[in-house]
Structure 1
Amino acid sequence: YHHGDLRQAMIDAAEAVLAEKGVDGFTLRECARRAGVSPAAPAHHFGNLVGLLTAVATLGFDELSDAMETAVAEAVSSGGDRLAAIADAYLATALARPGRFRVVFGRLGLKRGDDALMRAGLRAFGILVRETKLALGRHMTDDPLTRLPSSYSEDADLGAILFVWSLTHGFSTMLIDGQLGSFETLPGGRERLLKLYSQQLVQLLVSAVRQRRSDVGA
């Protein structure tokens, strides 16, 4: 391999193993075998299995962010429609690459202090924060795509942000784990379930906002 080729070959091999065997069948040796190199060869680029998984997770965050930004760009301008669009994108990304999705958010060890991984994760979460706040009618004075988790300690919208993320992530996990199989056989199939979810998410958030404003004005 020439410089740069081995790294990409290993990432491609990792993606293939994840797609075929999932995280439980993922080993550095198998990835190296598929890339056509010795088990020791990837050490220069990744160090070990954790390094390779971290590279895959970084790509996963980037893919998720790109999908959400594309969905927002194609949505109409209202905050609710934008939020529904990123929920749709989140679900679609999880379903398209369930193995990668499990690496990003799963139990496998990653280099949590890795700069690229941290930036990619902050960007993905920041998009969700931005769109949740827009749906709430908030005016933002900072860039949520670079905010650290510690900065949310006094954020009045943290509950709503975690609500949106938890519901969307949980629904994604249920889908890729096949826990909604019986519902996917109903008329409209999975596509209808996805649409129902994103619509209900926005309705719940909007209802909560209206209730909070009503309580404040009472």
Structure 2
Amino acid sequence: MSKRGYHHGNLRQALVDGALNLIAEKGPTGFTMAEAAKQAGVSAAAPYRHFAGRDDLLAEIATQGYELFGDVLEYAYDDGKPSPMAAFEAVGRAYLAFARKYPGHYMAMFEAGLSVNQTADLARAATRSDRVMQRAAEELSARIPIDRRPPGAMFSAHITALSHGIVELYARGKPGARTPFTPEELLESGVGIYLRGLGLISGD
């Protein structure tokens, strides 16, 4: 096996890429640093030049994941265009799309048991993606009278929890997760019920 990490001068990223393969196969806590080193084609000791241990490696993967997540959400939101409602719905769909396209990153972000404050870079990346969701929620809820308007952070957290639940139960192909509806249909109907409860869309 070639030691591509050394040859390309980017062992750190080679270890990240190798760990992503292992996460997809075994989950975020089901692999060892030695296995990540083998994936990268380097010795078992080599990863410790860049990472203190598996949690440090997972934190780097989660950081990269949140950076990608922020990019995906910002692209979907597009400054509230063409309308706050359409932008909000696009953000919800982008959540599902990200989980499908980047499963290893998603698992490192949400299933590895890491605190988002484990590193400063991870905290910054996570905060950025949270702000996109919160901004979308705040702009959409601006039409609700202020005495009945939920805090933007709460509104965003509710939709995030709904999206995450749908990903975990129905968008990852887990055994026993049977439903006649697509994840997108479940998300659309769930968000619709939530928005009707807030009076943002009609009950028709």
What code does the residue aligned with 1:85 have?
Answer: A
Question: Residue in 1 aligned with 2:168?
Answer: 173
Is contact 1:72-1:85 (8 Å) kept? yes
Q: How many residues align?
A: 189
Q: Higher helix share goes to which structure?
A: 1
Question: Residue in 1 aligned with 2:33?
Answer: 28
Is contact 2:15-2:47 (8 Å) kept? yes
Question: Residue in 2 aligned with 1:77?
Answer: 82
What code does the residue aligned with 1:122 have?
Answer: T
Matched, 1:10 2:15: yes
- Tell me: CA distance 1:133–1:95, structure 2 relative to 1, closer, same or farther (3 Å): same
Greater relative contact order structure (CA < 8 Å, 6+ sep):
1
* 1:81-117 Cα deviation digits (max 9, x unpaired): 1111111111111122323212101143457331110
Stretches of structure 1 lacking an aligned partner (at least 5 in a row)? 139-154, 187-191, 212-218
- Using the TM superposition, give the Cα deviation of residue 14 of structure 1 relative to its aligned residue in structure 2, in angstroms: 0.8
- Using the TM superposition, give the Cα deviation of residue 206 of structure 1 relative to its aligned residue in structure 2, in angstroms: 2.9
Select the residue among 129, 132, 156 that pairs with 1:127.
132
Give TM-score, length-normalised by structure 2: 0.80
- Tell me: CA distance 1:179–1:129, structure 2 relative to 1, closer, same or farther (3 Å): farther
Select the residue among 53, 70, 77 that pairs with 1:65.
70
- Using the TM superposition, give the Cα deviation of residue 60 of structure 1 relative to its aligned residue in structure 2, in angstroms: 1.0
Aligned-partner Cα distance in 2 for 1:161–1:66 = 17
Select the residue among 85, 94, 97 that pairs with 1:92.
97
| CA RMSD of superposed structures (Å) | 2.7
Aligned-partner Cα distance in 1 for 2:40–2:112 = 25
SS at match of 1:25: coil
State percent identity of aligned pairs: 30
Give TM-score, length-normalised by structure 1: 0.76
